[in-house]
Structure 1
Amino acid sequence: MKLLSALFVSMLMMASVVQANAQNYPCSKSMGGVSHCKDGKFVCKNGKISQSKKVCI
């Protein structure tokens, strides 16, 4: 029972980290994700420039 509880808690912790990463990603899933970096801005796979304030290298 303790093992099951520990597994459940660890899965909850990992789920919150994955969700936080998804919210902070420069190009959304609908834009196809990040293709490359150009002039410090993220270019999405659909060709649009991300509106993210993050600077890429």
Structure 2
Amino acid sequence: MKKVILVTLLSLFAFTATAANTPCSGKKGGISHCSGEKFVCNDGSISKSKKICR
């Protein structure tokens, strides 16, 4: 029984770790390209992400 609970908890942790937001996620449609260090989204807007586009 303890193994089942442990496996379930580890599975949930792995799922939430991969669900992190990325620049231009959601309605923005993903990343189109970089403009300097900024991400340009597929809808034409500039992402407000603090990550650097390389």
Superposition TM-score tier, normalisation by shorter sequence: 0.7 to 0.9
Q: What TM-score do you get using the length of structure 1 for normalisation? A: 0.71
State the alpha-carbon separation in 1 of the partners of residues 48 and 6 from structure 2. 40
The two structures have a TM-score, normalised by structure 2, of 0.74
Structure 2 spans left out of the alignment, 5+ residues:
none
Find the residue that maps to 2:18 and give its secondary structure.
helix
Gaps of 5+ in 1: none
* Structure 2 match to 1:16: 16
- State the superposition RMSD in angstroms: 1.6
1:49 is matched with 46
Give me the whole-angstrom Cα distance separating, in 1, the residues matched to 2:31 and 2:9.
Answer: 32
Does 1:40 find its partner at 2:27? no
Which protein is richer in helix relative to its size? 1
What percentage of aligned pairs have identical amino acids?
41
